[in-house]
Amino acid sequence: LASFDDVSQTREIEPLLRKLTAPTLIVWGTADPFFPLKWAYWLKGLIPGARQVVELEGAKLFFPEERPDELADAVREHWRTSADVAAMA
C-alpha cells in the first residue's frame, strides 16, 4: 500500500489529462480508503472536459461492484446532458 502514497505516476500523466476535452464524468466514493475525495476535485480541475464530480456517499474503492445502480444512474445522466450540450452546439 505504500505505493498509493507515491503520486509520481499520476503526476506524470498530467499533460495528457490536460488535453482531455471529451465530456468527462468523475464518480468517486467518499469512503475510499486509498484515494481521498480531494483527488476527484484535483482531476476535475485538471481535465478541461470534466463537467462534474458525483460523490457516492459512503462508497469505497470498488463502488462499481457495490453500488452499480448509482453508478449507472450517474452515467446515464452524464450521457443525457452531454447529448443536450452537443445538440445546442
d(CA 16, CA 2): 25
Rounded average pLDDT over 6-30:
89
* pLDDT confidence tier of residue 42, bands split at 50, 70 and 90: very high
Q: What is the residue range of 18's domain?
A: 2-88
pLDDT at 2: 46
**CATH at residue 14:** 3.40.50.1820
Q: Give the chain's domain count.
A: 1
| Residue 15: pLDDT over 80 | yes
- pLDDT for res 6: 64
- Give the pLDDT mean for 19-39: 95
Q: Over the chain, what is the mean pLDDT?
A: 88
* Model confidence, pTM: 0.81
